[in-house]
């Protein structure tokens, strides 16, 4: 039996159109999913949209639509963009799916029956932009530091609370002790330390319902309240499998998220699962953020980059490459049109594209016949490449491939095949063709279309020059 591998992205809020940040997480999740398929794992890859809550309701009102029509419309833009980026998901979950709503209610009811939910007054602030309860000490000049243009809502209402504090100790143990039956990994390592220190500094119970937000799932035993949007969203990872009849994929092997929502994914979600008696995910990985030319991306700054625009300029594989190679692993990553164009020209037009064209041109002039070898991505000689991918160091994995590209270029310059004949020429070409085919195999998860084109072009019996893979751009 093949190993199962279940990978998820965050489900995106439908208050906004898809942008490069959403594309970042979803493209790299697709790379990981494809990589695991090549390792022969049984893969389930989930993405979707988060459609309830005050923020979405506000945007719907601004657009003059009833919430359901609004979310249908925006959710579609997410669902439709992913295939255009060569992303193949197994299911697209929407939190307005009636089955999802039922499952969320079942989970919350279980926790309620266990005695982990109680009613109390919530006094404090709520930031609609973050969809998060915030304390006075979080405020900077009276505003949420992430949404300085919005007024934080002062709130005083009766809510249901979840006993998060009760789970702090068991979670610390589950994170720290690899032998704990609930052990899970938080990565990269720096993020694990951050979460542990916050857990150790004391955790308070959290409000998990809202009295005045009607766009949400009703609390099953008290329909005057709706379930807090995060408590409705997190269970999507679990409900999606129930809805598709793929429960055997639980628990998730990897939740891929941005760093701003790590606390929800590495603490609150696990506490919910512990309380409901459901097993915990294996790993939560948080990446950092794209900055556009040194600035935060925002509508008001007008510097938002949309995936459609990237595809239009760089093509599908070009976009996938630019995203993966600038992946904000631990630090934020500064990107922008100029940087992308430079990188595209250097690595794809001049690097990979040029090498393929050079080898094809040389081979075209001969009658070389070579053994087609069965190249496997699992080959031990690619050990470093695998290690990088296992840590989600996409940039490092690509550097491994691009070193081979420059070595092959150097090999051509040194051996000058254009000055060779007969057996010697064939030897040099055979070496180069094998190199390019190996490079294509390693690139399969990243640039699936390109890898296929190269494999076809060099499959023989006669190798011919083709159109440039990546035309130079300005
Ligand atoms: N709806 C919640 C997630 C619920 S998951 C149960 C949410 N949605 S979101 O639309 O705001 O998407 C946030 C995610 O988008 C981030 O965690 C990250 O994956 C991605 N990104 C958004 N902006 C980004 C950048 N500027 N850079 C990289 N990724 C970022 O939070």
pLDDT of residue 286: 98
Q: What are phi and psi of 119, to 5 degrees?
A: -95, 140
Class of domain 4-287: alpha beta
142-185: pLDDT as tens digits:
999 888 888 999 989 999 999 999 999 999 999 999 999 999 99
Q: Which of 130, 132, 191, 192 is catalytic?
A: 130
Euclidean distance between CA atoms 401 and 264, whole angstroms = 35
Active site residue 24: no
Active site residue 147: yes
> Which are the contacts of 213, defined by CB distance < 8 A and separation ≥ 6?
53, 54, 57, 226, 229
Active site residue 282: no
Nearest CA residue ID for atom 17, ligand 1: 258
Nearest CA residue ID for atom 30, ligand 1: 21
Contact 261, 303 (CB under 8 A): no
Euclidean distance between CA atoms 362 and 158, whole angstroms = 76
Contact 305, 23 (CB under 8 A): no
Task: Pick the closest to residue 436 from 411, 472, 467, 461 (CA basis).
Answer: 411
pLDDT of residue 261: 97
447-474: pLDDT as tens digits:
999 999 999 999 877 899 999 999 999 9
Q: Which of 144, 255, 287, 386 is catalytic?
A: 144
Of 3-17, 57-71, 366-380, 430-444, minimum mean pLDDT range: 366-380
**Average pLDDT of the residues in 20-35:** 98
Q: Which of 102, 147, 339, 391 is catalytic?
A: 147
Nearest CA residue ID for atom 13, ligand 1: 12
Q: Where are the domains of the chain?
A: 4-287, 336-457
Q: How far is the CA of 258 from the centre of ligand 1 (A)?
A: 6
Residue given tokens 């963009």 in the structure block: 81
227-250: pLDDT as tens digits:
999 999 999 999 999 999 999 999
Active site residue 299: yes
Q: How far is the CA of 289 from the centre of ligand 1 (A)?
A: 9
Residue 368 predicted with pLDDT over 90: no
Q: How far is the CA of 23 from the centre of ligand 1 (A)?
A: 10
Nearest CA residue ID for atom 10, ligand 1: 12
Task: Pick the closest to residue 473 from 345, 309, 315, 335 (CA basis).
Answer: 345
Residue 115 predicted with pLDDT over 90: yes
Which CATH number fits the domain 336-457, given the four candidates 3.10.180.10, 1.10.730.10, 2.60.40.1120, 3.40.50.1820? 1.10.730.10
379-438: pLDDT as tens digits:
999 999 999 999 999 999 999 999 999 999 999 999 999 999 999 999 999 999 999 999
Active site residue 84: no
Query: Which is the closest atom of ligand 1 to the Cα of 333?
Result: 27
pLDDT of residue 370: 73
pLDDT of residue 16: 86
> Which are the contacts of 291, defined by CB distance < 8 A and separation ≥ 6?
297, 332, 333, 334, 335
Euclidean distance between CA atoms 442 and 20, whole angstroms = 24
Nearest CA residue ID for atom 15, ligand 1: 22
Query: Which is the closest atom of ligand 1 to the Cα of 16?
Result: 10
Pocket of ligand 1 (CB under 6 A): 10-13, 21-22, 24-25, 50, 233-234, 236, 257-258, 260-261, 289-290, 297
Active site residue 371: no
Task: Pick the closest to residue 400 from 442, 440, 441 (CA basis).
Answer: 442
Query: Which is the closest atom of ligand 1 to the Cα of 261?
Result: 17
pLDDT of residue 329: 97
Contact 210, 219 (CB under 8 A): no
**What's the first-to-final CA gap in the chain, in angstroms?**
50
Q: How far is the CA of 261 from the centre of ligand 1 (A)?
A: 8
Cα–Cα–Cα angle for 359, 362, 368, rounded to 5 degrees: 100
Euclidean distance between CA atoms 325 and 327, whole angstroms = 6
Contact 360, 435 (CB under 8 A): no
Three-state DSSP at 14 gives coil
Query: Which is the closest atom of ligand 1 to the Cα of 290?
Result: 27
Query: Which is the closest atom of ligand 1 to the Cα of 12?
Result: 10
Cα–Cα–Cα angle for 240, 244, 250, rounded to 5 degrees: 55
CA pseudo-torsion sign 356, 358, 359, 360: positive
> Which are the contacts of 192, defined by CB distance < 8 A and separation ≥ 6?
175, 185, 186
**Average pLDDT of the residues in 123-136:** 90
């Amino acid at each position: 039996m093949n190993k199962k591998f279940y990978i998820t992205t965050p489900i995106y809020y439908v208050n906004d159109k898809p942008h490069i940040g959403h594309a970042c997480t979803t493209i790299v999740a697709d790379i990981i999913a494809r990589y695991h398929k090549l390792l022969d794992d049984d893969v389930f890859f989930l993405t979707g949209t988060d459609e309830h809550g005050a923020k979405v309701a506000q945007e719907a009102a601004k657009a003059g639509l009833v919430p359901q029509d609004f979310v249908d419309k925006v959710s579609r833009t997410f669902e439709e963009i992913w295939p255009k980026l060569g992303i193949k998901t197994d299911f697209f979950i929407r939190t307005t799916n009636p089955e999802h709503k039922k499952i969320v209610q079942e989970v919350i009811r279980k926790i309620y029956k266990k005695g982990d939910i109680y009613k109390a007054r919530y006094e404090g602030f709520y930031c609609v932009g973050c969809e998060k309860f915030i304390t006075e000490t979080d405020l900077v000049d009276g505003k949420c530091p992430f949404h300085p243009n919005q007024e934080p809502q002062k709130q005083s209402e009766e809510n249901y609370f979840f006993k998060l504090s009760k789970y702090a100790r068991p979670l610390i143990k589950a994170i720290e002790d690899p032998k704990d039956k609930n052990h899970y990994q938080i990565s990269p390592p720096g993020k694990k330390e951050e979460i542990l220190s916050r857990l150790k500094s004391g955790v308070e119970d959290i409000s998990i319902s809202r009295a005045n937000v009607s766009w949400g799932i009703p609390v099953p035993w008290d329909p005057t309240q709706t379930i807090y949007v995060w408590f409705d969203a997190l269970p999507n990872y679990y409900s999606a499998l129930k809805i598709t009849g793929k429960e055997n994929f639980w628990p998730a092997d990897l939740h891929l998220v941005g760093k701003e929502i790590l606390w929800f994914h590495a603490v609150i979600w696990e506490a919910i699962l512990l309380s409901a008696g459901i097993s915990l995910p294996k790993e939560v990985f948080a990446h950092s953020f794209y900055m556009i030319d040194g600035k935060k991306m925002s509508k008001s700054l007008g510097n938002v980059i949309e995936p459609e625009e990237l595809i239009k300029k760089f093509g599908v594989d070009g976009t996938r490459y630019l995203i993966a190679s600038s992946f904000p692993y631990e630090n934020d990553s500064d990107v922008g049109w100029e940087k992308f164009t430079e990188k595209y020209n250097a690595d794809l037009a001049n690097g990979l594209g040029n090498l393929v064209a050079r080898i094809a041109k040389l081979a075209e002039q001969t009658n070389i016949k070579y053994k087609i070898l069965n190249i496997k991505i699992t080959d031990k000689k690619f050990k470093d490449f695998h290690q990088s991918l296992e840590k989600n160091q996409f940039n490092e994995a690509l550097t491994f491939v691009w070193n081979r590209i420059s070595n092959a270029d150097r090999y051509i310059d040194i051996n000058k095949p254009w000055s060779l004949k007969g057996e010697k020429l064939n030897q040099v070409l055979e070496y180069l063709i094998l190199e390019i085919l190996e490079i294509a195999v390693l690139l399969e998860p990243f640039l699936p279309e390109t890898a296929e084109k190269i494999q076809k072009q060099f499959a023989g019996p006669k190798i011919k020059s083709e159109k440039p893979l990546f035309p130079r751009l300005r």
